[in-house]
Structure 1
Amino acid sequence: MNKTVNINLAGIFFHIDEDAYLKLQGYLTAIKNSFANTEGSAEIIADIETRISELFNERLKNERQVIGLKEVEEVIAIMGQPEDYLVDDDIFEDEPRFNSSKKSTLNKKLFRDIDNSYISGVSSGFAHYLGIDPIWMRLLWVLLVMMSFGTFVVIYILFWILIPAAKTTAEKIMMTGEPVNINNIEKQIKDSFETVSGVAKNVSKSVSDTAKKHGGAVKKTSKNFFDTIADFIMVVVRIFSKFIGIIIIVFSAVILISLILGLFSVGFKNILNIPGLDYVYAFNAGNTPIWLASLLVFFTVGIPVFFLFYLGLKIFVNNLKSIGKIAKLTLLGLWLCAIVGIVIVSVREVSEHSISESVIDKHVLNVTSKDTLRIDIRNNDLYRNHDYNGGFKIANHHDDLKGLYVRNVRIVIKSTKDSLVTVNVEKTADGSSYQKAINYANNIKYDFDFKHQKLMLDSYLYTDVENKFRNQKVTVFVYIPEGVIVNCSESTRFYYTYPSIIENKQTNHYVKIIKDDVLCLDCDDDFKVEVKTPKVKIDEDGVEINGDEGSLKIDKNGIRAESKEVKVRINSDGIDIQSKEN
């Protein structure tokens, strides 16, 4: 049974067994002796202890676990022995402070470089991670902000919040992609002291360069074939995962920016005068404040997209800070509230269309069975005759009030035994109750003119935009006495609906109204087919095709086909096939 010891390493308490404690104590003593006469030795030793405590924390599965000899030896192997990493002052040459050498991002961790920052260090941190100069990253951020009309500032703030700052020496070393060992910690501390004293020295050379200068002080290890294959596969997997992370980040960032633009567009609609919002208002039958609906959509869609963005960052950045349990629960609560709000708004909107009611305006026209009635669609600037039913638009009425013009007009022609023509205008609208639906139907305005035996119908209905779009519809029932001759212009072709006795094909013809039907007075019922192909004849007798190699005839007597070699006859008697002899 081994004795355990409680130690305080860089402000963190660990339980360590006695053998491991003795080895760790000897290791730290050797390090202190090695740096006894080195400038900044206290800071170097403190950072080394901090890095050792971080490595111990990575290996602990729970707080009660005891650090054993195995864990201590693993940490020593990572940190290295003091005698293996003796750094001379000669390696610190005058170079620019920022090292823009392109190192592999697979060994780097993304931090905010607060030592080289203008605002938060996000740009310089990405510059370290990508191996480029910070000036290019800063220019890229400026371009992104300008191209997104300032909304990319939100993405920058998210990076500022989620990416940790490189505060400790170990974090600053990890930011450059170098291993955090005694040699690099000492180099970083020396660089800090020389910067304070005004000497700009480059301390960011790779471990491979240091190893070459010290003549192979670090032992090289060889790998067998299978280890190499395994490492290669892991590198491919890590590169692929980074690529997936970038795709997720870009995709979610585009959606977030779009949502933010939409939210601000609604908020400043009176200032920006954004087109299309009038139609949103017209379809908002439930009278839900547009800013509230936009906010609910923003939270409903934006919060999941934010977590998708956070997932992409987690894949791309291994050391990403957690947003914390409180923030996660708060966002979850907001999302649930937004979902409930969307459901309430949707139910309210559906209820406004739950009931449909109609009102009828009746008009009697002085047209008798001895007259000829012409029906036409009135031409206007809002809707031309080639526009079909169902269209709508918002425009200013003659009194400068905005109105909703709906192209949802149908015509039904029916016969009647009455002596005069009757026009019934049926106006239909939706509402949340019968009375409201009737009120909205009464608010529909539809006009027509009747002069000189000519009925001119409007192609649209009108209602104030305050009434909203409620599936408003007008059906014009024209009851015509039997015996009246009617001529419907071409403009009415697409307006007829069941059970009209006049159909599309009867437009531009004179028809006589009979009981529940019409009799066309100028329709040509002869069978006429115009065929411009030579040797082809199609008429009331049948079809005849003559060619150089034979002929085909189809008529009431059957089918006859003939060529130089064969004759075929098909009729009610059967099939007769005869071959010709040469």
Structure 2
Amino acid sequence: MKRTTTINLAGMVYHIEEEAFQILKQYVTDIKKVFSKQEGVEEMIADIELRIGELFQERLSKSKEVITENDVKEVMTIMGSPHQFDEDYEPEQDSDFYYNSTENKNKKQLFRDTEEGMLAGVSAGLGHYFNIDPVIIRVLWIILVIMGGSGVLVYIIAWIAIPEAKTTAQKLKMYGQSANLDNFKAFADSVTKEAKTGFKRASNSVKNTFKKKDNTFTKLVRVIAKVFGFIMFFAGLMGTVALVLIFLTDLSFLFFQKEFLNTNLDGILSLFFVDSILAIWLIFTIVLIPTLFLIIAGGMLLFNQKPKSRGFILTLLIIWFIALVGLSFLGVKTGLDFKERYQKEEQLIIEDSIQRLTINLLDNDNLINKMNDYDYDSHFSVQNNRVTMRHTPIHVHPTEDSLYRVIIKKKSNGATIKEAKQRTEKIIYKFERDGKVLNLQSHFSFANDQKIRGQQIHVHIYVPIGKQLQLNDNLDEYPITIQSKSKFPSDLLEQATIWQATEEGMKVLKTL
């Protein structure tokens, strides 16, 4: 049975045998004595104690809660003897146990190096980990930003996920050096000689060799970085001006899907979001901050400057993240308007005994054919407080019934069935019969205040077996499906066609 005591080491409480405590106490006293004249000794001692605590933690478990004398000696063997830095030191003086003062290389660990970094130290940390110049990493970030803006998000994730190298032990691990007294002493010497507050490891030869070896390449990379810096700075500046004009000025039109819409941004967003004003400011913030980052990052690369305030950069990131979360919640709230779906059918039965029904597909009362310039690229327009959705799908089927039948299926979404039904009933779609001719509009419309909530129109035309259907030309790009007897090329619908219904499907008789 051995007596134990409790100690506080680097903020952590440990139970330790009394004999082990006396050895550890003497060890720490020797360290303080040897390094007493070293600049920054208090910080170095705190880092050493933190490292000793980490090594103690590795030796504890649920079945072992007390630090033993052997544990202390193992830790001292790893850390090394403080007397090796004393001019009067003789190895045989350490008679109680053996100190391993050789420097062991450990596997590198990934940390952010804020001392050598330009923003959060992500690039500098990755540079240390992979033994490459951080400038190369920064150029890769720039390329990711230019190729779609993903670099900003990836950088933020790396900023959050990768820990910062704060202590001397962490900085040594960042370079793959053992956290022992040799390297702690090297750290302290480098601080004294170079008069720097940041970390500089003594064994920095690998990095320096790389820089010397690839000096020409590094210069080339820096030139490329300046070019990218100019592009980013200019693009960010132009993007900011464009955003201000679009979001903060009262433009009465917008260019959307190859045509001008007689509305403003608030009018467009009000068709989608439940709160268009909030959506405008959230989207403006989400898009503006990356353009500001382009200006800042471009300026740093172009003028070789570090950011004046990391707090400002962090504030922008926090605002951007809050806006992104806010827009996500607003999107979820808007998405609830699509929870329920309602469908309504209108049916037209042609009771007259006719052999051929002609379908005229109209666009604003003008027949779609080769003679007019019908734009199949335009799907959506806003005018006179109404939304017009174009290219209403048409489906042609043979039927065993004796009469022609046309079914108009209207669909819409809403937060409740009642709301979905109300939206469906307010969809306007025009069609009329004139003898043997059925005139169908290619579009439908609804009021702006109904918002875009999945409104759809599908027209189903049923042709009795043995009877015919005539379609006008220029329909090869139109969303029309024909239940045919066999496959047919889409360019067949470039011309007016006559179809006959058979038991096996619709069969083309001839082109006009």
Q: Structure 1 length normalisation: TM-score?
A: 0.48
Report the equivalent of 2:143.
143
1:358 aligns with 2:339: no
Report the equivalent of 2:187.
188
Deviations 1:491-538 (A, max 9, x none): 5996689xx9944337459xxxxxxxxxxxxxxxxxxxxxxxxxxxxx
1:464 aligns with 2:446: yes
State the AA in 2 paired with 1:185.
F
Shift of 1:53: 2.3
Deviations 1:219-243 (A, max 9, x none): xxxxxxxxxxxxxxxxxxxxxxxxx
Q: CA 1:114–1:32 in structure 2 vs 1: closer, same or farther (change >3 Å)?
A: same
**Given that residues 376 and 489 in structure 1 are in contact (C-alpha distance below 8 angstroms), is that contact kept between their aligned partners in structure 2?**
yes
Shift of 1:181: 0.6
Q: CA 1:27–1:475 in structure 2 vs 1: closer, same or farther (change >3 Å)?
A: closer
Report the equivalent of 1:76.
76
**Given that residues 393 and 404 in structure 1 are in contact (C-alpha distance below 8 angstroms), is that contact kept between their aligned partners in structure 2?**
no
Shift of 1:52: 1.4
Q: CA 1:463–1:80 in structure 2 vs 1: closer, same or farther (change >3 Å)?
A: same
1:376 aligns with 2:358: yes
Shift of 1:188: 0.3
1:394 aligns with 2:379: yes
State the alpha-carbon separation in 1 of the partners of residues 347 and 40 from structure 2. Answer: 93
**Equivalent residues in 2 for 1:166-181 (5 A)?**
166-181=165-180
**Given that residues 47 and 169 in structure 1 are in contact (C-alpha distance below 8 angstroms), is that contact kept between their aligned partners in structure 2?**
yes
State the alpha-carbon separation in 2 of the partners of residues 118 and 461 from structure 1. Answer: 55
**Given that residues 362 and 442 in structure 2 are in contact (C-alpha distance below 8 angstroms), is that contact kept between their aligned partners in structure 1?**
no
Q: CA 1:477–1:163 in structure 2 vs 1: closer, same or farther (change >3 Å)?
A: closer
Q: CA 1:63–1:490 in structure 2 vs 1: closer, same or farther (change >3 Å)?
A: same
State the AA in 2 paired with 1:2.
K
State the AA in 2 paired with 1:351.
E
1:429 aligns with 2:410: yes
**Given that residues 114 and 121 in structure 1 are in contact (C-alpha distance below 8 angstroms), is that contact kept between their aligned partners in structure 2?**
yes
Report the equivalent of 1:18.
18
State the AA in 2 paired with 1:403.
T
Q: CA 1:175–1:86 in structure 2 vs 1: closer, same or farther (change >3 Å)?
A: farther
Q: CA 1:174–1:379 in structure 2 vs 1: closer, same or farther (change >3 Å)?
A: same
State the alpha-carbon separation in 2 of the partners of residues 435 and 144 from structure 1. Answer: 44
State the alpha-carbon separation in 2 of the partners of residues 159 and 119 from structure 1. Answer: 12
SS in 2 for 1:107: coil
Report the equivalent of 2:48.
48
Q: CA 1:121–1:8 in structure 2 vs 1: closer, same or farther (change >3 Å)?
A: same
**Given that residues 43 and 189 in structure 1 are in contact (C-alpha distance below 8 angstroms), is that contact kept between their aligned partners in structure 2?**
no
State the alpha-carbon separation in 2 of the partners of residues 444 and 53 from structure 1. Answer: 75
Shift of 1:144: 2.7
SS in 1 for 2:110: coil
Shift of 1:182: 0.8
Shift of 1:45: 3.9
Structure 1 gaps, min length 5 = 89-103, 208-263, 296-330, 417-422, 480-484, 510-582
Q: CA 1:274–1:155 in structure 2 vs 1: closer, same or farther (change >3 Å)?
A: farther
Q: CA 1:474–1:59 in structure 2 vs 1: closer, same or farther (change >3 Å)?
A: same
**Given that residues 407 and 461 in structure 1 are in contact (C-alpha distance below 8 angstroms), is that contact kept between their aligned partners in structure 2?**
no
State the AA in 2 paired with 1:65.
E
State the AA in 2 paired with 1:408.
I
Report the equivalent of 1:59.
59
2:393 to 407, 412, 426: 407
**Given that residues 116 and 124 in structure 1 are in contact (C-alpha distance below 8 angstroms), is that contact kept between their aligned partners in structure 2?**
yes
State the alpha-carbon separation in 2 of the partners of residues 66 and 115 from structure 1. Answer: 38
**Given that residues 178 and 206 in structure 1 are in contact (C-alpha distance below 8 angstroms), is that contact kept between their aligned partners in structure 2?**
no
State the alpha-carbon separation in 1 of the partners of residues 472 and 118 from structure 2. Answer: 69
SS in 2 for 1:7: strand
Shift of 1:3: 1.7
State the alpha-carbon separation in 2 of the partners of residues 506 and 119 from structure 1. Answer: 69
State the alpha-carbon separation in 1 of the partners of residues 53 and 423 from structure 2. Answer: 76
Q: How many residues align?
A: 363
**Given that residues 85 and 182 in structure 1 are in contact (C-alpha distance below 8 angstroms), is that contact kept between their aligned partners in structure 2?**
no
State the AA in 2 paired with 1:81.
S
1:505 aligns with 2:507: yes
Q: CA 1:206–1:385 in structure 2 vs 1: closer, same or farther (change >3 Å)?
A: same
State the alpha-carbon separation in 1 of the partners of residues 333 and 382 from structure 2. Answer: 35
Q: CA 1:441–1:401 in structure 2 vs 1: closer, same or farther (change >3 Å)?
A: closer
State the alpha-carbon separation in 2 of the partners of residues 39 and 433 from structure 1. Answer: 75
Report the equivalent of 1:4.
4
Deviations 1:55-89 (A, max 9, x none): 2233333699221112112211211223556799x
**Given that residues 40 and 188 in structure 2 are in contact (C-alpha distance below 8 angstroms), is that contact kept between their aligned partners in structure 1?**
yes
Q: CA 1:410–1:71 in structure 2 vs 1: closer, same or farther (change >3 Å)?
A: same
Q: Structure 2 length normalisation: TM-score?
A: 0.53
1:446 aligns with 2:430: yes
SS in 2 for 1:15: strand
Q: CA 1:488–1:110 in structure 2 vs 1: closer, same or farther (change >3 Å)?
A: closer
State the alpha-carbon separation in 1 of the partners of residues 201 and 426 from structure 2. Answer: 83
SS in 2 for 1:505: strand
Shift of 1:201: 8.5
Report the equivalent of 2:311.
none
State the alpha-carbon separation in 1 of the partners of residues 402 and 247 from structure 2. Answer: 56
Report the equivalent of 2:112.
112
Q: CA 1:268–1:17 in structure 2 vs 1: closer, same or farther (change >3 Å)?
A: farther
SS in 1 for 2:115: helix
**Given that residues 8 and 14 in structure 1 are in contact (C-alpha distance below 8 angstroms), is that contact kept between their aligned partners in structure 2?**
yes
1:129 aligns with 2:133: no
**Given that residues 108 and 129 in structure 1 are in contact (C-alpha distance below 8 angstroms), is that contact kept between their aligned partners in structure 2?**
yes
**Given that residues 393 and 457 in structure 2 are in contact (C-alpha distance below 8 angstroms), is that contact kept between their aligned partners in structure 1?**
no
SS in 2 for 1:356: strand
**Given that residues 427 and 473 in structure 1 are in contact (C-alpha distance below 8 angstroms), is that contact kept between their aligned partners in structure 2?**
yes
Q: Percent same amino acid at aligned positions?
A: 28
Q: CA 1:189–1:462 in structure 2 vs 1: closer, same or farther (change >3 Å)?
A: same
State the alpha-carbon separation in 2 of the partners of residues 506 and 192 from structure 1. Answer: 89
Deviations 1:86-106 (A, max 9, x none): 799xxxxxxxxxxxxxxx997
**Given that residues 190 and 200 in structure 2 are in contact (C-alpha distance below 8 angstroms), is that contact kept between their aligned partners in structure 1?**
yes
State the alpha-carbon separation in 2 of the partners of residues 35 and 115 from structure 1. Answer: 24
SS in 1 for 2:507: helix
1:349 to 318, 335, 338: 338
Deviations 1:311-362 (A, max 9, x none): xxxxxxxxxxxxxxxxxxxx9xx99xx99x969956x635322x534355x8
Shift of 1:477: 7.4
SS in 2 for 1:472: strand
State the alpha-carbon separation in 2 of the partners of residues 439 and 80 from structure 1. Answer: 79
Shift of 1:177: 0.8
